[in-house]
């Protein structure tokens, strides 16, 4: 598996410098939101944003949109084909991640999608789970846009401003950023009620 991952990384780095890289980025982030790909779209977004900083936010926008569309497909798979999805999730060894995400849904409800973009649990687990739990699709889409958009725009900004070193720091603390984002959201909700 490690050799395959290295080949994929080298392929991604080579492709990021090509003129048609935006199409690969769009397709990659669409597929990654509902199907297991060992490397997130950040791996293509980062070198593209570093190589062409003036387009970093456009790349983040395209990555967000395609990820949300792919997330909707994951949602539909969970909604209509959860038995098939569970067999697949179990076969690739992500059943524990699914159980953890399910626990978070129980605790946080729909708001879990807001932190899903920052956790180490693959986003596709949350998209399929949201569909299987019959989450309101409009809330799912809005939360996905916020969550995925925040992640990809942060990555694009860091790539544009700080290069690879800044991005590495963000990626090493992705979980903490997700929890911070959730805490800020809860504080905002409490503040608006009080």
The region of weakest confidence among 26-30, 57-61, 121-125 is 121-125
> Which token pair is 40?
């997130």
The pTM of the full predicted model, rounded to 2 decimals, is 0.77
Q: What would the DSSP string read from start to end of 127-189?
A: HHHHHHTT--HHHHHHHHHHHHHHHHHHHHHHHHHHHHHHHHHHHHTHHHHHHHHHHHHHHHH
Query: Among 14-28, 61-75, 118-132, which range has the highest average pLDDT?
Result: 61-75
- For the segment 15-19, the average pLDDT, to the nearest whole number, is 77
Domain map (residue ranges) of the chain: 21-189
Give the range with max mean pLDDT: 86-95, 106-115, 130-139.
130-139
Of 75 and 1, which is predicted with more confidence?
75
Averaged pLDDT score across all residues of the chain? 83
Q: Residue 18 has what pLDDT?
A: 81
CA pair distance 29, 167, nearest whole angstrom: 18
| Greatest C-alpha distance within the chain | 54
pLDDT tens track for 41-51: 888 898 889 88
CA dihedral (127, 131, 136, 137) positive or negative: positive
Q: Note the pLDDT tens digit of each residue in 114-133.
A: 888 777 678 888 999 999 99
Find all residues with CB under 8 Å of 172, minimum gap 6, and list them.
Answer: none
**Cα separation, 135 vs 153, whole angstroms:** 26
Helix (H, G, I), strand (E, B), or coil: what is residue 18? coil
**What pLDDT, on a 0 to 100 scale, did the predictor assign at position 161?**
85
């Amino acid at each position: 598996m490690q050799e395959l991952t290295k080949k994929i990384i080298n392929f991604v780095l080579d492709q990021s410098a090509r003129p048609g890289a935006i199409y690969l980025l769009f397709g990659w982030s669409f597929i990654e939101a509902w199907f297991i790909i060992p490397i997130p779209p950040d791996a293509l977004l980062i070198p593209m944003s570093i190589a062409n900083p003036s387009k970093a936010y456009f790349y983040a926008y395209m990555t967000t949109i395609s990820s949300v569309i792919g997330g909707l497909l994951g949602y539909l798979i969970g909604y209509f084909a959860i038995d098939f999805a569970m067999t697949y999730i179990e076969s690739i060894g992500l059943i524990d991640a699914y159980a953890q995400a399910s626990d978070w849904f129980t605790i946080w409800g729909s708001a879990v999608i807001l932190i899903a973009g920052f956790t180490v649990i693959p986003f596709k687990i949350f998209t399929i789970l949201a569909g299987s739990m019959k989450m309101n699709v409009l809330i799912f889409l809005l939360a996905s846009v916020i969550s995925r958009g925040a992640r990809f725009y942060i990555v694009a900004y860091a790539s544009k401003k700080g290069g690879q070193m800044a991005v590495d720091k963000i990626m090493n603390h992705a979980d903490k950023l997700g929890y911070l984002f959730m805490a800020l959201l809860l504080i905002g909700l409490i503040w608006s009620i009080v």
